[in-house]
């Protein structure tokens, strides 16, 4: 299998899948091609690959002879990669096929298919569990048989199990241990046709969480562009679409936010060549065949455009914003998004912690995004001072816009007066949406500084902040909350408010630089890392232009650089040495075999096939240590994949090495 991830966001992957007839950039859409007829030439409109039905070719004498003689690519006039289905759709529709699993697998290889499919048993929603279990056993049997009879053919093996999530997970685990190259998720069309998107999410997540990360996943029958972004966020890489032609035959135009009937169109809905060359009335007056061709072209172009937008969103790091936009186009899609956020713990492991794009709050659902889950989880590992002062939001970064103007605040814990607490002993924290509480030392770290939310808060935001503040204050002996925070977030219902204090003037001095770098390191690498990296005598160098911290030295030895774009540390050699000495094995480590050791020492990037172990909690885009199996530090760099992916992949980069030479 040759599949390599280039960019990640959410569970989505922009990757390269290599096939005998060329490389595929994922996520990718496969137009369905009928072997006997083609309404339009899909390759002319951007199709990288297509899918056709091997069983329809097999059972037609003329098609079969041509395919065997000239190959499936010439038969359907497509030069790129071709995927073939085995006839499982016909089996689900008509209940019987005139071909065996062994015959159809061998036939697909004979006609030059790039990726073939074993003859699984599609089990639709609504069947009894015993029925689904029996079908699953046949699917397993046929999967093993397909592997025995194929030679070089890349093979799909479809995850089945109806709507029973435990069966889907079992199927994914069993098939994932076999030597297949791609895993479609099957029998989900009935869910999409009846707008049961919530169940679709449950089925897909039950499957992808138990499939190998190193193999592409194909969501079968997902041909409507309104579902693409959500499916990609769940980890689906491939889609097949007959919708472009089926909807055209019914005079319906696909759009990323729904479907439009031609009879209701007053203006054309987009800027594709069809919509710019024709008016709705001109389309209505066309002969049926010509109208179908033009609408099908529009449907295909709009579908490809959505796939391109999704790929760009993955690169930019704003896939979640796109998903939330798309899911607000239909109530049942919104329900599906809310269901997906029930999997926040899993999503957080795959979602890169640092991105090019800011976090935009688009509604209550944004509160469940992995970035919020991650921040609140990391806060638990940061040692706090004895006293805390909660302040309202200002312009970002907050520490640069606290002017020292006295503000009234309430005391809700402890007896010590605010004016008697040394400023260095007071943890100043801002209360804001969507991250709840932000210690002032972290106010320049991504995405705590790189986010935007409305000035007026919805009920979900208010409740979330209430819950977060209550949990956060438990660790402090003395606590003060500004009256503005109390009023804005309605905290008076949770606390017995004591006398009003005035915030003392020294607040305007901002954040102590040493305390800032220590807390950022703890937040980034784990509790205690700040103290291990930076002693009290370090030299902190700031940018002359911005006044922000740039470098940290110890006796002219560079320890780390604070990256301006996201406010986190990039290690230097000395920083890597200190972190390696402090963190217990295997924390933040990627362990390579003997073959890769000399290359790592030379500072060359680490490929996944040379990794023998790693910290399973590593995220993509994080600073990591590269060691050998004796835990000797060889190099350090930035992870491309997360820990689970690094261990699962045998192709592509795992770590972009910064420096070796240890």
Convert the pLDDT of each residue in 331-377 to its tens digit. 999 999 999 999 999 999 999 999 999 999 999 999 999 999 999 99
CB atoms within 10 A of CB 426: 20
Q: Give the list of residues 6+ apart from residue 378 with CB closer than 8 angstroms, or none.
A: 523
Taking residues 554-573, report their average pLDDT: 96
> CA-CA distance, 76 to 41, in Å (whole number)?
10
Taking residues 116-130, report their average pLDDT: 93
DSSP-derived secondary structure letter, 230? H
Give percent helix, percent strand, percent coil of the chain, each to the nearest 5: 40, 20, 35
Residue 391 near residue 429 (C-beta atoms within 8 A): yes
Q: Give the list of residues 6+ apart from residue 248 with CB closer than 8 angstroms, or none.
A: 39, 291, 292, 293, 295, 296, 298, 299
Q: Which of 364, 332, 169, 327 is closest to 233 using CA atoms?
A: 327
Fold of 3-349: TIM Barrel (3.20.20)
Taking residues 302-325, report their average pLDDT: 98
Taking residues 62-79, report their average pLDDT: 96
For residue 93, pLDDT beyond 80: no
Q: Which residues are catalytic?
A: 85
For residue 319, pLDDT beyond 70: yes
Three-state DSSP class for residue 267: coil
Residue 591 near residue 614 (C-beta atoms within 8 A): yes
Q: Which two tokens stand for residue 630?
A: 């004796």
State the pLDDT at residue 330. Answer: 96
State the pLDDT at residue 388. Answer: 94
How does residue 55 score in pLDDT terms, banded at 50, 70 and 90?
very high
State the pLDDT at residue 499. Answer: 79
Q: Which two tokens stand for residue 337?
A: 């998004």
Angle in degrees, CA 610, 614, 620, rounded to 5: 95
- Pairing, β 557-562 against β 569-571: antiparallel
State the pLDDT at residue 403. Answer: 67
Convert the pLDDT of each residue in 126-149 to its tens digit. 999 999 999 999 999 999 999 999
State the pLDDT at residue 589. Answer: 98
Convert the pLDDT of each residue in 397-456 to its tens digit. 898 887 666 678 899 999 898 888 888 888 999 999 999 999 999 999 999 999 999 999
Taking residues 282-310, report their average pLDDT: 97
> CA-CA distance, 298 to 538, in Å (whole number)?
62
Residue 478 near residue 426 (C-beta atoms within 8 A): no
Residue 427 near residue 387 (C-beta atoms within 8 A): yes
Indicate left, alpha or beta for 334 from its phi (over 0: left) and psi (-120 to 50: alpha).
alpha
Angle in degrees, CA 189, 368, 448, rounded to 5: 135
CB atoms within 10 A of CB 195: 14
Query: For domain 525-659, which architecture applies?
Result: Roll (2.30)
Taking residues 311-315, report their average pLDDT: 98
Taking residues 77-98, report their average pLDDT: 80
Q: Which of 459, 236, 198 is closest to 327 using CA atoms?
A: 198
> CA-CA distance, 167 to 160, in Å (whole number)?
8
Across the chain, which distance is largest between two alpha carbons, in Å? 93
Across 119-169, the runs of DSSP E, i.e. the strands, are: 154-156
Q: Which two tokens stand for residue 397?
A: 């970064």
> CA-CA distance, 551 to 598, in Å (whole number)?
29
> CA-CA distance, 503 to 410, in Å (whole number)?
10
State the pLDDT at residue 28. Answer: 98
Three-state DSSP class for residue 16: strand
Q: What is the crossing angle of helices 319-327 and 288-316, to 10°?
A: 140
Neighbouring-strand partners of residue 410: 481, 500
Q: Give the list of residues 6+ apart from residue 406 with CB closer than 8 angstroms, or none.
A: 502, 503, 504, 505
Q: Give the list of residues 6+ apart from residue 343 with CB closer than 8 angstroms, or none.
A: 205, 209
Q: Which of 114, 87, 524, 42 is closest to 293 using CA atoms?
A: 42
CATH code, residues 367-509 = 3.40.50
Across 237-360, the runs of DSSP E, i.e. the strands, are: 238-241, 252-255, 258-261, 359-360
Q: Which of 438, 256, 454 is closest to 366 using CA atoms?
A: 454
Per the prediction, the chain carries an average pLDDT of: 94
> CA-CA distance, 418 to 405, in Å (whole number)?
15
For residue 506, pLDDT beyond 60: no
**C-alpha dist (Å) from residue 118 to 17, 107, 125, 150, 313:** 20, 11, 21, 10, 33
Neighbouring-strand partners of residue 392: 431
> CA-CA distance, 483 to 389, in Å (whole number)?
11
How does residue 95 score in pLDDT terms, banded at 50, 70 and 90?
low
Q: Which of 65, 89, 90, 83 is closest to 75 using CA atoms?
A: 65
Q: What is the crossing angle of helices 129-149 and 101-110, to 10°?
A: 40
Residue 192 near residue 222 (C-beta atoms within 8 A): yes
> CA-CA distance, 580 to 585, in Å (whole number)?
8
DSSP-derived secondary structure letter, 54? H
Three-state DSSP class for residue 602: coil
> CA-CA distance, 597 to 318, in Å (whole number)?
36
For residue 195, pLDDT beyond 90: yes
Q: How many CA atoms lie within 13 A of 524 on its CB side?
A: 32
Q: How much is the pTM?
A: 0.95
Q: Which two tokens stand for residue 13?
A: 């992957």
Taking residues 255-277, report their average pLDDT: 97
Angle in degrees, CA 328, 333, 339, rounded to 5: 110
Taking residues 55-81, report their average pLDDT: 95
Taking residues 473-487, report their average pLDDT: 92
Q: How many CA atoms lie within 13 A of 339 on its CB side?
A: 21
How does residue 508 score in pLDDT terms, banded at 50, 70 and 90?
low
Residue 51 near residue 262 (C-beta atoms within 8 A): no
Q: Give the list of residues 6+ apart from residue 515 with CB closer than 8 angstroms, or none.
A: 424, 441
> CA-CA distance, 623 to 388, in Å (whole number)?
31
Length of the chain as a residue count: 662
Residue 86 near residue 105 (C-beta atoms within 8 A): yes
State the pLDDT at residue 424. Answer: 83
State the pLDDT at residue 492. Answer: 84
Convert the pLDDT of each residue in 581-637 to its tens digit. 999 999 999 999 999 999 999 999 999 999 999 999 999 999 999 999 999 999 999
Q: Which two tokens stand for residue 524?
A: 């980034």
Q: What distance lies between CA 142 and its chain's CA centroid?
A: 32
Three-state DSSP class for residue 221: coil
Q: Where are the domains of the chain?
A: 3-349, 367-509, 525-659
DSSP readout, 529-558? HHHHH--TTPEEEE-TTT--EEEEEETTEE
């Amino acid at each position: 299998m040759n599949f390599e991830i280039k960019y990640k966001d959410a569970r989505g992957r922009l990757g390269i899948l290599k096939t005998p007839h060329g490389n595929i950039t994922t996520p990718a859409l496969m137009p369905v091609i009928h072997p006997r007829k083609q309404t339009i030439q899909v390759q002319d409109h951007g199709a990288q690959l297509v899918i056709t039905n091997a069983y329809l070719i097999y059972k037609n004498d003329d098609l079969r002879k041509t395919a065997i003689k000239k190959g499936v690519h010439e038969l359907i006039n497509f030069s790129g990669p071709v995927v073939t289905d085995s006839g499982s759709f016909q089996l689900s529709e008509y209940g019987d096929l005139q071909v065996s699993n062994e015959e159809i697998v061998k036939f697909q290889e004979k006609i030059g298919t790039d990726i073939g499919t074993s003859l699984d048993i599609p089990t639709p929603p609504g069947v009894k569990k015993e029925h689904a279990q029996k079908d699953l056993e046949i699917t397993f049997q046929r999967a093993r048989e397909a592997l025995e009879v194929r030679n070089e053919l890349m093979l799909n093996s479809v995850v089945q199990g109806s709507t029973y999530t435990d069966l889907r997970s079992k199927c994914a685990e069993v098939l994932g241990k076999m030597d297949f190259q791609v895993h479609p998720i099957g029998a989900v069309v009935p869910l999409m046709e009846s707008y049961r998107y919530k169940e679709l999410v449950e089925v897909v997540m039950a499957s992808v969480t138990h499939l190998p990360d190193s193999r592409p996943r194909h969501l079968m029958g997902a041909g409507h562009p309104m579902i693409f972004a959500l499916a990609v966020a769940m980890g689906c890489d491939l889609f097949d679409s007959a919708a472009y032609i089926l909807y055209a035959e019914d005079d319906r135009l696909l759009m990323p936010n729904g479907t439009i009937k031609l009879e209701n169109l007053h203006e054309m809905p987009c800027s594709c060549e069809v919509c710019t060359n024709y008016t709705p009335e001109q389309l209505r007056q066309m002969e049926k065949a010509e109208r179908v061709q033009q609408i099908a072209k529009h449907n295909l172009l709009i579908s490809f455009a959505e796939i391109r937008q999704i790929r760009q969103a993955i690169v930019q790091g704003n896939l979640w914003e796109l998903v939330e936009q798309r899911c607000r186009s239909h109530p049942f899609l919104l329900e599906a998004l809310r269901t997906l956020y029930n999997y926040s713990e899993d999503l957080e492991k795959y979602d890169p912690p640092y991105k090019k794009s800011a976090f935009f709050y688009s509604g209550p659902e944004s509160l469940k995004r992995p970035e919020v889950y991650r921040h609140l989880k990391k806060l638990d590992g940061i040692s706090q001072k004895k006293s805390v002062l909660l302040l309202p939001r200002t312009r970002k970064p907050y520490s640069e816009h606290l002017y020292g103007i006295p503000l009234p605040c309430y005391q809700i814990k402890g007896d010590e007066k605010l004016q008697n607490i040394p400023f260095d002993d007071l943890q100043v924290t801002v209360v804001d949406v969507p991250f709840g509480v932000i210690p002032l030392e972290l106010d320049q770290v991504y995405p705590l500084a790189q986010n935007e939310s409305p000035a007026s808060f919805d009920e979900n935001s208010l409740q979330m902040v209430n819950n977060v503040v209550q949990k956060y204050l438990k660790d402090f002996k003395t606590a003060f909350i500004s009256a503005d925070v109390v009023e804005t977030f309605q905290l008076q219902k949770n606390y017995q408010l004591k006398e009003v204090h005035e915030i003392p003037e020294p607040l305007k001095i901002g954040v102590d630089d040493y305390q800032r770098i220590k807390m950022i390191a703890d937040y980034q690498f784990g509790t205690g890392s700040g103290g291990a990296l930076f002693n009290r005598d370090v030299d902190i160098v700031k940018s002359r232009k911005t006044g922000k911290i740039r470098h940290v030295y110890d006796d002219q030895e560079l320890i780390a650089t604070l990256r301006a774009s996201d406010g986190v540390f990039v290690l230097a050699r000395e920083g890597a040495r200190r972190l390696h000495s402090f963190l217990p094995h295997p924390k933040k480590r990627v362990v390579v075999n003997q073959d890769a050791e000399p290359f790592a020492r030379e500072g060359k990037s680490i490929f996944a096939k040379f990794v023998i172990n790693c910290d399973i909690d590593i995220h993509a885009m994080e600073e990591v240590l590269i060691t050998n199996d004796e835990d000797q530090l060889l190099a350090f760099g930035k992870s491309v994949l997360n820990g689970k992916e690094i261990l699962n992949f045998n192709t592509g980069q795992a770590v972009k090495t910064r420096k070796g030479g240890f």
